[in-house]
Amino acid sequence: MTDCPAFEHLLIIPRLRVQNANALSSPLTHGFPSMTAFLGLMWALERKTSAAGLDLQFNAIGVVVHRHQEQITADGFINTLRLTRNPINRDGSTAAIVEEGRIHLEISLVLAVQSEALNTDPGTGDELARQVRDLLLQMRIAGGSVIPSTATPGRQRPYLLPLTGDESARHELFNRAKLRLLPGFVLVDRQDLLEQRHQALQATTSEATKLDAWLSLSRINWNYSPDAEDGANKGNWTHDRESLGWIVPIPVGYGALGEVLEPGSVSNARDGHTAFRFVESLYGIGQWISPHRLQSPQQLLWYADSQPEQGLYRCRNDYRPTALYDLD
């Protein structure tokens, strides 16, 4: 397990509206873009800021979701994606439908920043934040288009949060910042729940695997308990989500299917100058929580953890559940 890379500032870009972002986060999950899409956005944004002459290094990214509207048609227990036939073929005929899930979002982005320029001249922070926001407005986020926000101008203003003081001062600054991100939800990693469910399944079924645990957490499991006095005619139905919160299956990166191949050795690859490797999605468990429950910026942020020798290219998050109140 690695830790979140070091950073000295948080760049917060609030209330971005994204139209038609990719809602199919993997072959098995949908409902919100994969965190790999936001890490890719972070790296693309860093290249743009570098080309613009800005001294900024982005080490991690967090996403706060304020509104979401997945483009689906609900019919009882079955939801259907709203698909379009586009573009048309060269001869003008209608193209075949390609499964393309879309979602409209209102989000705030939180970027972990390292910058010598900001340490030297902290007064440039507001101008740098505005420049980064202007570059971001020219990009796509998870395949979606950024459109003008309907929020008040003050709520849209990007800002830099310096975290260079002592621990108490940093904690106070982060507490103020996270309250400005309400109302909303952030996605955090709950690998601990997957481990707990796996151990619970193995207690009754020794051959239970991590896949069994993931599938068990990905659904609501109901259990019927008959009433001891009235027999099987009466009883209670209970499920295992009452104390778990808003738990969702998520992709957490990619696992290699083979060795790294030489640049240009694979036909039709997107980049003929970069080494190529076939991969498949890796899956984990996430949880949506309110920002006010976060205890540190590291619990919000996602970062890359690449281990090519093991064939793992993962997104990591350092969230650890903590008790808000001592009831003893």
Which of 109, 108, 107, 129 is CA-nearest to residue 118? 129
The domain segmentation of the chain, as residue ranges, is 9-71+96-184, 191-287
**Can you give the pLDDT at residue 229?**
63
Amino acid at 119: N
> 58 falls in which pLDDT band (50, 70, 90)?
very high
pLDDT, tens only, 219-249: 888 877 776 665 556 777 877 777 788 999 9
SS3 category, 113 = strand
Query: Rounded to two decimals, what is the model's pTM?
Result: 0.88
Question: Which amino acid is residue 184, in one-letter code?
Answer: G
Rounded Cα distance between 128 and 49, Å, is 10
Residue 113's alpha-carbon distances to 12, 168, 317, in angstroms, are 10, 20, 16
- For 293, residues 6+ apart whose C-beta sits below 8 A from its C-beta are 324
The helix (run of H) or strand (run of E) holding residue 120 is helix 116-120
Question: Which has the closest alpha carbon to 242: 270, 220, 227?
Answer: 220
Distances (CA, A) of 107 to 25, 93, 135, 273: 17, 37, 16, 34
What is the average per-residue pLDDT within 46-56?
92
